[in-house]
Amino acid sequence: RISPAPGQIGAYEVALAVEALGAGEILLNCIDRDGTGDGFDLELVDLISSAVNIPVIASSGAGSSQHFIDVFRATNASAALAAGIFHREEVEIREIKAHMVESGIPTRSQD
């Protein structure tokens, strides 16, 4: 949810506040996407990663290697993570890294 309910603060305001308080990075977990495999919340990741000057790690929703390509092409995320797809052995880390390299997205060595 991008816009908070009346009387509540949203992810945008929290991101700005934690940066001002000295956070070194933000692990952005979109609980609505967690475990869905439908992809990262690109709108939210873009909003937050464009608003702050610290690294933003996108989390929640990855279900394929393409989702990693999408998050790096559509946002300013510094990193992205997944867990469930690896635990369930749906996708291998090396497959994601290979797809990223093929797509021209920098990644750490597979070694």
The structure tokens listed for 91 are 């996708």
In a domain, 78, yes or no: yes
Please state, in angstroms and rounded to a whole number, the distance separating the CA atoms of residues 75 and 16.
Answer: 17
Give, as one character, the DSSP assignment of residue 6. T
**pLDDT score, position 7:** 76
CATH of the domain at 75: 3.40.50.12600
Average pLDDT of 58-82?
97
In a domain, 31, yes or no: yes
Q: Which of 12-26, 29-43, 45-59, 63-77 has the lowest mean pLDDT?
A: 29-43
pLDDT (tens digit per residue) in 17-48: 999 999 999 999 998 999 899 999 999 999 99
**pLDDT score, position 9:** 87
The structure tokens listed for 84 are 């469930």
What's the predicted TM-score (pTM) here?
A: 0.89
Q: Residue 52 to residues 5, 86, 108: CA-CA distances in angstroms?
A: 22, 29, 24
Please state, in angstroms and rounded to a whole number, the distance separating the CA atoms of residues 62 and 39.
Answer: 5
Regarding beta strands 79-80 and 26-29, do their DSSP bridges make them parallel or antiparallel, or are they unpaired? unpaired
Domain that holds residue 93: 25-102
Domain count of the fold of the chain: 1
Work out the mean pLDDT of the chain and round it to a whole number. 93
In a domain, 35, yes or no: yes
- 75 pLDDT higher than 80: yes
- 104 pLDDT higher than 70: yes
